[in-house]
């Protein structure tokens, strides 16, 4: 079973997204800030990372920059954010994100995305 890491400082967002990820067939890991996210990616090597941009300790962009530098990018990264400018979206994509998903996240849309992302991993 593929593993997904949900990195978001909102406990509610992690809870909602976690339910969707489990329903899509993932084992779920959670991180409440960027530092914990980075540590879990390096230790657990999840297949998919759902990454909030605005988090304490390290923001999502800093997490991606460090993962690129370490050569430890997960197979797929989806950035979750409430407000994303074109320059930020471009930076995320340049760092290796598959897509940027606006918050509040539509769990139905996310479920479909995760099911599609899971197919080649399984």
| Residue 15 pLDDT exceeds 70 | yes
At which residue do the structure tokens 């530092």 appear?
35
Dump pLDDT digits (tens) for 59-100: 999 999 999 999 999 989 999 988 778 999 999 999 999 999
| Residue 121 pLDDT exceeds 60 | no
pTM above 0.85, yes or no: yes
Reported as a pLDDT band with limits 50, 70 and 90, residue 12 is very high
Query: What is the average pLDDT value for the chain, to the nearest integer?
Result: 93
Reported as a pLDDT band with limits 50, 70 and 90, residue 54 is very high
**pLDDT confidence of residue 92:** 95
């Amino acid at each position: 079973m593929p593993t997904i890491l949900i990195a978001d400082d909102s406990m509610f967002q992690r809870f909602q997204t976690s339910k969707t990820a489990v329903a899509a067939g993932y084992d779920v890991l959670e991180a409440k800030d960027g530092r914990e996210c980075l540590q879990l990616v390096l230790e657990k090597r999840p297949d998919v990372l759902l990454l909030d941009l605005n988090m304490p300790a390290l923001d999502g962009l800093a997490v991606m920059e460090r993962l690129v530098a370490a050569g430890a990018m997960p197979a797929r990264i989806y950035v979750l954010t409430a407000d994303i400018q074109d320059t930020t979206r471009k930076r995320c994509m340049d760092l290796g994100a598959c897509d940027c998903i606006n918050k509040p996240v539509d769990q139905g849309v996310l479920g479909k995305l995760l099911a599609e992302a899971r197919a080649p991993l399984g």
